[in-house]
Structures are given as structure tokens and as C-alpha cells.
Chain A
Amino acid sequence: MNSFAEINDKLIESTIEIFTGMVMMEISVAGEPLVTVGPLKQSITGMVGLAGTHKGLLAVHFPKQVALDVTSSFLGMEVDQINDDVQDAIGEIANMLGGNLKTILSDRGKDINLSLPSTIYGDEYAFSSQAEVDQVILPFQAPSGVFYVEVELEH
């Protein structure tokens, strides 16, 4: 966890910045960083891998309603179900967060590359990485619920 002490603040700052500036949604920190989240129900996760000097991944877990609101606000169009637009929007948010994480971890992010963003959704699922990683999960409050930004980095 120690390795995250210094990046948590920057990650929180950049998440709020992306939501305020790009998604046009006010969010706030919803408590202390967590180590795990339980099974995700009726949710969608956007994730992007990091390769290079730092290996890891960034994931953002949204309950369905929050994902729909985020997409509506981000794309400026109403959506009422998880469709391609929602998947693209959530993947793009993971991509933007990953881009910022890259810069936080390495000077101008030049030694780290992002993989393609991807989304996962389902009625109920658990998200877990292999054992040998450090991870942190930051909870955020959006108007319609709490969502989580998760970062995992190999030692």
C-alpha cells in the first residue's frame, strides 16, 4: 500500500478533473481508499492495461445507473440501457484515467504504454488480479451513486 500513498492524491485529483472537465459531472471522494470491493452487481467496468516500466492496470467500476448517467452527460445524449455507446464511453473514461496515471507514474508518461481499453459487464461479477500486485481502490460519489477507481501495479 505504501507505494500508493503518493499517487493516491494525484489520482484523486486527476479523476475529479476528468469528471469535471470532460464528463461535466461533479464528483467527490467517498471515503478512504479500499483494498477490495465485493462482487459487483449490475455494473460495468472499464479497464486499460499499462505496460513498460510499470506493469499494471487501471479499472473503473460503475453501477449501472451511474454508468448511464455518466454516458448521458459525457456524450450529451440520453441512454437508458447498456449499449455500445455506454461501453465506448466507459472504455474511454478508463483510457483517459490511464493516460493520467501514466503521467503520474513516469515523467510525462514516456516509458509506459497503454493497452486498448475494454469493458466488462454483467449481473454479478468479481474482479481480481493475480497475487503479486499492489492495489488501491478509490471510492467516488457521483450524483446517482458511488463508483470506484482501481489501480493495480506489479511490484
Chain B
Amino acid sequence: MNIQKSPGFYNEMHDTKGVVREIYQSYAAWLDALPEGKLERKSAEAELLFRRLGITFAVYGQADGGERLIPFDIVPRIFGADEWRRLEQGLKQRVRALNAFMNDIYHDQEIIKAGIISAHQVLDNAMYRPEMRGVNLPNQVYAQIAGIDLVRVAQNDFYVLEDNLRTPSGVSYMLENRKTMMRLFPELFAMYAVEPVEHYPQMLLDTLRESAPYYIDDPVIVVLTPGAYNSAYFEHAFLASQMGVELVEGQDLFVDQNRVYMHTTEGPQQVHVIYRRVDDDFLDPLAFRPDSMLGVPGLFEAYRSGNVALANGVGTGVADDKSTYLFVPDMIHFYLGEKPILSNVPTWRLSEADDLEYVLEHLSELVVKEVQGSGGYGMLVGPTSTKEEIEAYRQRILSGPEQFIAQPTLALSACPTLVESGVAPRHVDLRPFVLSGKDIRLVPGGLTRVALKEGSLVVNSSQGGGTKDTWVLEE
């Protein structure tokens, strides 16, 4: 099979001379020997598998509200053991610092006192929850589950694009992608010693157990979903079943005397840990949005009294906000006394006059994002936008510059991907999932997202991105 090469950015499979990198060599040879059309047939088979399993997501704002498949690409992305070890260390370091930061800003605020980050930046942030001040959480962990988005621009150059500390999703795709690859290509797993990721649900369960109120030996754990029409419902159901815990909706829970119970066929049963996939705002109509139908009245008070644990905690949004992102390297210095292993993308804050001026002059070269946006919605990718789009975006920025940040357009690395014209390079990122309980851990791997459109740098599934199986090789 003929594989198209990629000029101008780091290619995961080929070096600049077009020679196949060492870790991809067996794969490339295998691909080369495949009969014509075989890969396409396998790809169609994979799609059928995903559809039958009902691994779908809903796209918001689509008139039909239908369920879609996230396209699965059957060419794997491969990491060597050494590459991964460094990433793993960097990820643990970063998440440790982020949790320390959250514990600090909801307690003594040492980092503000030290003048490293301004009180305004933290306390006036819309995502800061003053209600959380002085609340002590088990293990002092706020984000038990963190999804850190990484991009690669060179052999040893990884940047953190964003930290997802609220309800990061996608881990079910990481697991299903692996299952599908093993079913379709058992021979590849005989060729490569790939580190397993299948124990993620067990690891998550351990983490949640460790997050329980300290006086509970055998906690009752549930997954809280907004319901079957949520875009990530498949994942909620998947994780609940893999962990062997109940999948509940707000209507299944109630609070009495600051304790949370679920309605069961045998009467009320107390719940100790809630892995919630519902945003802070909708968690409790008494504490937050009163119109929320998804939440549980009284839940927040029960949480503050320490009778139930939430994963992730309330008020983590302040730390994964794109304007707080800037300070993560400083947090690593401040709390851990270490040098950051993973770098931040250089970022302009449009709330600063100098930065704003520069960015407005260079819009066509930059990526501009909303500070509190996610999912790839409402961002501007300068180099691939039309003049009209750029002008329209300029007006949006001017109506509230502090709502935006800008970053250089990164040359995201590209990975061979099966597209209509054959196997061609497409840009990818990586979202590993970092779990924090008494200890901090992650499975070797993550979700590789791929921008299927040629030249596109937007990998979000809501914007036509796909996913790949991600392999970390054993040493």
C-alpha cells in the first residue's frame, strides 16, 4: 500500500527523509504486504462493530438530534516506552500541581499571597466557587480524573494544549478502540508488545474508593449521568458497567439529613461516592442553577458536610480555565519545587493591552479561543479562516477581550490515517487520563484524536474529528 508523506510538520511514522521510524517499521512492513482493499474492508467492519455496540454520541445543535459514530481510524498511533515514560512523569507532575493549586485557593491562598497569581485572576473568576472555601476533601484532591490534552510538534517536543479538570470524556473510546483493534488485527498484537489499557475501569474504581469519606470502609459508588440523551451517555453507561456500579440520574437520588440515598427496589440505600458527569451548575438546584432538572436538591450541602464525595470535586473549573492555564508552570515551581517536564503553549492574554494589540494585528496567523470554551466550539484558526471569518471574530474579541486567549498555530504532528485517497498524514493530539486518589496513576495510553480533513488542526469529535488506538510499547 502506498503511504503518502507529509512535508512541514512532524510525522509520527516517517522522519524528514521519508524513512520509517524504528517503532513503526514492523507496522509499515505489515501494511505494505496487505492485499489491495483489505484495510478498507477492515475499516468498514470496524464501523459496523461500533454501530452494533451502539458506541455513539449525540451532536448538539443538529436538527435531527441523531446519534452518530465518532469515526474510528484503524491505523494505530505508536509511542515507544521511553517517550511514554517522560510523558507519564510530566502528566503526573502537572496534575499533582493542579490539585495542590485548587486545595490552596480554597484554603490559605498561599500562591496569591506569594504574588505569583493575582487575587483577581482567581477570586473574580466566574468558575471560582466561594462556597468551597474551607471545605476539606479526601486526599486533598479536587480533580480525581484529569484529561490532559497534549500535542507534539517535534520528536521530543510536547505541549499541553489544555487541562480538562471538570468532566473529561473520551476514555470509553480509548478502551473500545483497543478492543476493536485486537478483534480486527490480532496479528499486529502478536508482532508488537503493546501495554494494556483494559484495566482503566478497575483503576478508576480504586481511585473512587480512595476518594470516599474517610470513615467508610466499603463505599457505595455510583455514576451520575444527565441521562440517555447526553452526548456522552454511552461512556457513562460503559464506565458504570465496567466498574460494576449503578448508573443513576438525578431523579434516582435524594438527600436526607445531609446524606445521599438512591431509590432502590429494596428501599433507600446510602451513596458515598458519586462519579458525576453533570456540570457544577446543574448538580444541585438549591445551591446552583434552580432550574436544573438533572441535579439532586441538597447534594451540595451533603458534599460540604463530607458525607458524600464527588468526583470531580466542585469548583475545579477555575483551574482548567484557559486564562489560569498560563500559570500552571508557575504552580509546578511553587508547589512542587520542580521544573515543568511538559511545556505550555505560549499564550497571549487579550485582557492585557499589549497582548491584545499584537494579536489583533496577527489574527490570520494565530489560534484564538474563548477562555471558558471547550469542545472546539467558538474558536478561530487564523491560517485556515477566510477574511470575513477573521473580521467577524475580531468584532467578537473587541466586545470582550478578557474572554479570549490566543496561541500560535502549532504544527501538530501528523499520523498516517486511512482516508479516501489511501493512507495519508492527518494531524493528531493525545488525551491521557490521569487519576488521583491516595496515589496518582494512569494507564499507558490515551485517546488519540485525529483531524480527518486534510490540513485541519481541529481534532474535536464535534467538529468532524476521529479517534485512533494509541499504543505504548513495552520495553
- To the question of whether A and B form a pair in one complex, the answer is no
B residues with a Cβ closer than 8 A to A are none
A residues with a Cβ closer than 8 A to B are none
